[in-house]
Amino acid sequence: MAVTSDTLPTNRERVGTLAARISEPFVLVPILGWLVGALVAVLLEQFIGLPIARAFGMVRIPALFGILIFFEILSEIFVAFVELLQVPSMILMQLPDFLLFTLENLAKLPGVILYVLLIYILPISLVARLTVSPSNWVAGKLFNFRSWLSVLLHIALMYLILHIWTDVTDYRLLVARLILVSVIITLSLNVINGYMGEFSCSHPGFIALGAYGASVFTVGLFVNDNVLGTALLPETLARFMFPIGLILGGLIASLGAILVAIPSFNTRGDYLAIISLAFMFMVKSLFENLEVFGGPRGLGGQPDLATLPTVFFWTIVGIWIMNNFVRSTLGKALNAVRDGETAADAMTVNTRRTKFTAFLFGAFWAGVAGGLFAHVIRYVNPGTFGLQMLAEVLAMVYFGGLNSVQGSIVGATSIQLLGEALRPLEIYKWLVIPLLLIIVMIRRPTGLISFTKFDFTSLIKPKKEPGGEV
């Protein structure tokens, strides 16, 4: 509209053209192509990653795309810098040493960048670009044959990539599982806070209920434990009974959610925030006082049941069910309640039932995620489910984006990855992450990707030439 925008490209447009120029060759790459590229990349890393890493001067394969190493270098230089400043009289004497140290550390950087370029970026982009026509053809054929088969293939490929990627180190395995669990948690909170527009702070309580429910089930039945007594059933059965334990945890969390859901009929917004906060403290305090389950010392020794396939399976199922829920009539009622409760009531939306269902549903999935979380960490204690977890979970939801499945996935993944990647910064990590979140909140108050629809089947459709039939 403005006259200047016709003549002078604004900054945003310039960035836009640059991004468009980079992404231009890849416009036609379907999801399948990217997945095949990623598969090639992780296979490459599996077979020739170590020699390449050694050739570039690293001891082992960089765990998180080299980000970890980058921040390690940064923090070492920073520590040296602080040491330099501590003795002002010696600055000139120490300066050459410091500069040498800095250069030595910086010299590690090109190797890391080259590694990432050689193992990840180049293979992925090359394979994706070169296989445009075959992958489009396969994706199209499959999609037209049976679309659910295509969905299954994509999910299987994703799992394969994740499996091979996490095969390299146990650290990656742990991080990947924690990310998957936090995706479920974030999405289930998004159902309440994003789709229904309440400000619920009770999620750590639900997670705790689920974690304890599932842990008591597995530890009590299958493990000889000095808190819960001897095993009642052979441990081989545990693998098959684990889903029952998770669902049990989810149901217990739902039961607890009734305590928050019923007051929510009359209260909204801030008062509900307090009620849910009180609920969270109550659950934490309850487990601290239940000596049967270990009290404040917590409950450990869960069997190693939350393997990558299990967690991946539950995450996919969780995303699938929650996405269907928010797209159903009931899910649309959630948005109606958020945008105007009285109006929704007038339009025959049963607001009480809607709120009740949403709370119980969100709590159920939080409980399932809690059960998985307990079996990934293999130890729970009440202190975990406190204010810090609340801040983390809220940050994931609001960073990723309200009312959006993609947003939840992006939010959970990026906050967890960031937390891991910034670990070398030690205490400064807790300056960087909050600052980043504040900036994101100020620039995009509803989160990175908010108010979207998530439709996996349309995502995996083959890409056609512009102008062609879609």
Partner 1 sequence: MSLEGFLQNIVNSLQLGSFYALIALGYSMVYGVLLLFNFAHGDIFMVGAYIGLFVATAILALVALTSIVLPGWLILVLTILAAMLLTSFVGITVERIGYRPLRNAPRASAAITGLMIGIILETGNLIILGAENYSFPALIETSTYQIAGVSITNKKIMIVVVALLLMLALHQFVQRTKWGMAMRATAYDFAVVPLMGVPLNQIAALTFALGSGLAASAGILFSLAYPVLSPYMGITFGWKAFVAAILGGRGSILGAAVAGFMLGFIEIFVAAFFPSTLRDLIAYSIILVILVFRPHGLFGEAYTAQLRL
First CA to last CA across the chain, in angstroms?
A: 31
> What is the tally of helices (H) and strands (E) in the chain?
21, 2
- Residue 424 near residue 74 (C-beta atoms within 8 A): yes
> Which of the stretches 146-154, 170-178, 364-372, 430-438 binds partner 1 when contact is defined by CB under 8 A?
430-438
If binding is defined by CB under 8 A, does position 285 make contact with partner 1? yes
Residue 463 DSSP class: P
Q: Near partner 1 by CB under 8 A, which window of 214-222, 237-245, 362-370, 432-440?
A: 432-440
Among 402, 409, 410, 412, contact with partner 1 (rule: CB under 8 A) = 402
Nearer to partner 1, 166 or 264 (CB): 264
CA angle 218, 219, 223 (to 5 degrees): 110
Candidates 160, 391, 417, 448: give the one binding partner 1 (CB under 8 A).
Answer: 391
Distant-in-sequence, close-in-space partners of 104: CB < 8 Å, separation ≥ 6: none
Percentage helix, strand, coil, to 5, in the chain? 80, 0, 20
Q: Name which position in 1, 3, 93, 427 contacts partner 1 (CB under 8 A).
A: 427
Would you count residue 153 as binding partner 1 (CB under 8 A)? Answer: no
The correct pick among 129, 163, 239, 268 for binding partner 1 (CB under 8 A) is 268
Residue 187 within binding range of partner 1, rule CB under 8 A: no
Q: Does residue 385 bind partner 1 (CB under 8 A)?
A: no
- 346 contacts partner 1 (rule: CB under 8 A): no
> Judged by CB under 8 A, which of 18, 90, 438, 459 binds partner 1?
438
Closer to partner 1 by Cβ: residue 18 or 438: 438
424 contacts partner 1 (rule: CB under 8 A): no
Figure out which of the listed residues 6, 270, 465, 469 binds partner 1, where binding follows CB under 8 A. Answer: 270
CB of 281 to partner 1, least distance (A): 5
Is the Cβ of residue 164 or residue 425 nearer to partner 1 in the bound state?
425
Q: Position 49: which residue type?
A: G
Asked if 163 is part of the footprint of partner 1 (rule: CB under 8 A), the reply reads no
Interatomic CA distance for residues 305 and 238, integer angstroms: 8
Contact 328, 215 (CB under 8 A): no
The three-state (H, E, C) secondary structure of 32-89, written as one string: HHHHHHHHHHHHHHHHHHHHHHHHCCCCCCCCCCCHHHHHHHHHHHHHHHHHHHHCHH
Q: Check if the beta carbon of residue 25 is closer than 8 Å to that of residue 130.
A: no
By CB under 8 A, which span of 127-135, 218-226, 247-255, 398-406 interacts with partner 1?
A: 398-406
Instruction: Please report whether residue 387 would count as binding partner 1 according to CB under 8 A.
Output: yes
Question: Residue 286 and residue 280: Cα distance in Å, rounded?
Answer: 10
Quote the CA–CA distance of 327 and 334 in Å, as a whole number.
Answer: 10
Are the beta carbons of 64 and 420 closer than 8 angstroms?
A: yes
Rule CB under 8 A: say whether 129 interacts with partner 1: no
Q: Does 267 bind partner 1 (CB under 8 A)?
A: yes
DSSP SS3 for 328? coil
The separation between CA 32 and the C-alpha centre of its own chain, rounded to angstroms, equals 22
Could you tell me the smallest distance in angstroms from the CB atom of residue 388 to partner 1? 9
Is residue 398 involved in binding partner 1 (CB under 8 A)?
yes
Q: Is 224 in the site for partner 1 (CB under 8 A)?
A: no
Residue 442 sits in the site that holds partner 1 (CB under 8 A)? yes
Closest by Cα among 370, 218, 403 to 284: 370
| Segment near partner 1 (CB under 8 A); pick from 30-38, 62-70, 284-292, 462-470 | 284-292
Number of residues that bind partner 1 (CB under 8 A): 47
Q: Please pick, from the candidates 74, 84, 121, 282, the single residue that binds partner 1 as defined by CB under 8 A.
A: 282
Considering the rule CB under 8 A, would residue 40 count as an interface residue with partner 1? no
Is 435 a binding residue for partner 1 by CB under 8 A? The answer is: yes
- Out of 26, 56, 281, 456, the residue judged to bind partner 1 by CB under 8 A: 281
Can you tell me which of 8, 18, 27, 431 binds partner 1, judged by CB under 8 A? 431
464 Cβ contact partners less than 8 Å away, ≥ 6 residues apart: 28, 136, 470
CB atoms closer than 10 angstroms to residue 333: 23
Distances (CA, A) of 209 to 220, 249, 340: 16, 7, 32
Instruction: Pull the structure tokens for residue 94.
Output: 């120490």
Containing H/E element for 379?
A: strand 379-380
Q: Are 28 and 461 in contact (CB under 8 A)?
A: no
Q: According to the binding rule CB under 8 A, does residue 278 interact with partner 1?
A: yes
Question: Do 327 and 456 contact (CB within 8 A), yes or no?
Answer: no
Q: Report the residue from 259, 322, 363, 460 that binds partner 1 according to the rule CB under 8 A.
A: 259
CB 160 within 8 A of CB 39: yes
User: What is the binding site for partner 1 (CB under 8 A)?
Assistant: 193, 197, 199, 259, 262-263, 266-271, 273-275, 277-279, 281-282, 284-286, 288-289, 338, 340, 387, 391, 394-395, 398-399, 402, 427-428, 430-431, 433-435, 437-438, 441-442, 445-446
